[in-house]
Amino acid sequence: MEEICQGPCLNKWKHRIGIAKNDLDEELIRACQAGDREAFRALYDRFKRKVYSLALYMTGDAELAKDLTQEIFVKVFRDIRMFRFESKFSSWLYRLSTNTCLNALRTRRSLREVGIDEVIGTSAEISANDSPEDREMRSSIRQAVGRAILTLTPPLRAVVVLRYIEGLSYGDIAEALSCSEGTVASRLSRAHRLLERQLRSWHPLPLREDA
């Protein structure tokens, strides 16, 4: 795995094959299916951040998230020949990633607190005009949200992470979790109530869907 994934090469790959961004995933996947190791590295570069972010929020353990990211990509490279382009590659990847994380939670139950800034923003993204108090407040809110997510059961945690951290639609979440959109909506509704209870001391956060 380390040999496959050494160094960023996505930009070099895009330049080499000279294709539009929308066609990149399909070309990368087909090249991976043909055994192109440079394409494997490019695919890893393209999706490693999203996979790590998902694993970190699902487990709350930075070291475990790194291990799971490696495990997930080993599975991707092992099974990618079975991908038949009948769904989005991202949905296939999220399904594999979520299932791997859920399996890890069943066996390891690791909830060690981590720096949520790693995946949802750092002080560098906060306006230079913000006061130290404002920056501290934003950091505290990020940490509180991260801890609150970890209090949810794994199935509820999965829909929250996929919806609000990864930005997936209800349909994409349903495809990734192999359930109906109604189930996704039901789990999100329950998760909203539990998160609001956990975050009662903070100002309301934009977790509810607009009517």
pLDDT tens for each residue of 1-23: 444 444 445 555 555 544 445 46
Overall CATH class of domain 117-211: mainly alpha
Which pLDDT belongs to residue 186? Answer: 96
Which pLDDT belongs to residue 94? Answer: 93
Which pLDDT belongs to residue 198? Answer: 80
Closest CA to 92 of 104, 105, 75, 106: 75
Encode 123-149: b = buried (16+ Cβ within 10 Å), e = exposed: eeeeeeeeeeeeeeebbeebebbbbbb
Where do the domains of the chain lie?
117-211
Q: 């495990």: which residue's tokens?
A: 71
Tokens of 208: 């509810």
Closest CA to 113 of 147, 68, 141, 162: 147
Which pLDDT belongs to residue 162? Answer: 93
CA–CA distance, 195 with 205 (Å, rounded to integer): 10
Assign 130 a pLDDT band (cuts: 50, 70, 90). Answer: low
Closest CA to 147 of 199, 102, 100, 106: 199
Which pLDDT belongs to residue 179? Answer: 93
Least confident of 40-44, 62-66, 146-150, 190-194: 146-150
pLDDT tens for each residue of 62-79: 899 999 999 999 999 999
